[in-house]
Amino acid sequence: MKKIFFGIIIILFLSNLAFRNKETYCLNLHLKSNKEIYKLDEPIILDVEITNCAKRGVWIIIPESNLEEIFRYPHCIFTVMNQNNFLIKNLYVPCKVVTPLSPKEFIYLNPNQSVKIYKNGYRLNDFKKMPEGTYAINFLYSTKSEKEQYWFGLYSDDYWAERNKNIFWRKRAYEVEQVKRMLVNVPKTELISNTIAIKIFNEAKYDALKIAEEVCKKEDWPWFDVNIIEYSNYWDVTTNSKSLGRNAFIRIDKKTGKIKEKHLTGP
């Protein structure tokens, strides 16, 4: 009877231990933009905030560089879809040396505490111009590295196998071992943020259309099926484009906004 009772205690203890060792973390990822409508070439600044919504603290990693998408974990990836559900790729081109994971990047989040992944926001269109249109954007944060070496950036491939010969490993061996120990406390997870919508419009183009519309009203010309083409020094606006007759044509100087040419074609 004592053996059975003792066995039950052991089972309960191990079950309780297993329960406590379960990943009971709860992290929430929230994405927001500094505005919803942007002029063409205006900086698009995004904020990503991660919140610990569990009842206990948790270790996370906030990268110091914006260039971890390809080179090392944690992966921080913005997905941008245009209005045709086409994935916009390569929104920026990495141009800096990506450093290995550092102990300074480990952050302890208390319950209900939040932290920004990018301290000053992420400028989405710094490296590549985004054309006018409507975009849906979300953000992925991943620590689900399959291999330990994937945390060490450009040092993680050929150099990893030769780490005893490489100057990086000789200089920073202690720091690497420290990072490896700290990684044990970081949940291996993948988070996807909410999706936000932004709109980019070409202000100069809209101004040209307004000018052309005023011309058509004054001349009693048709203002539908409107088409506009941008050239280096002027805009060409045509109306009633699906008809062979009564087509209005207005050419507008891009610099001054003055009408360079206007006429009506067709009967």
Q: What pLDDT, on the 0 to 100 scale, is given for residue 1?
A: 52
CA distance readout (Å), 144 to 75, 127, 151: 9, 28, 10
- According to CATH, where is 3.10.450 located in the chain? 203-265
Q: According to the model, what pLDDT value does residue 6 have?
A: 45
Q: What is the pLDDT of residues 31-69, one digit of tens each?
A: 999 999 999 889 999 999 999 999 999 999 998 765 545
Q: What was the pLDDT predicted at 7?
A: 45
| CATH architecture of the domain with residue range 203-265 | Roll (3.10)
Model pTM score: 0.72
Q: Under CATH, which architecture does the 21-201 domain have?
A: Sandwich (2.60)
| Distance of alpha carbon 179 from alpha carbon 170, whole angstroms | 15
Of residues 210, 200, 230, 205, the one with CA closest to residue 39: 200
Q: How confident is the model at residue 129 (pLDDT cuts 50, 70, 90)?
A: confident
Tell whether the model's pLDDT for residue 251 goes beyond 60: yes
Residues of the chain with CATH 2.60.40.2970: 21-201
Alpha-carbon distance values, 44 to 67, 70, 121, 247 (Å): 17, 22, 9, 38
| Residue 170: predicted pLDDT | 66
Supply the pLDDT for residue 241: 75
Encode pLDDT of 75-109 as tens digits: 888 889 998 888 876 554 443 446 778 899 999 99
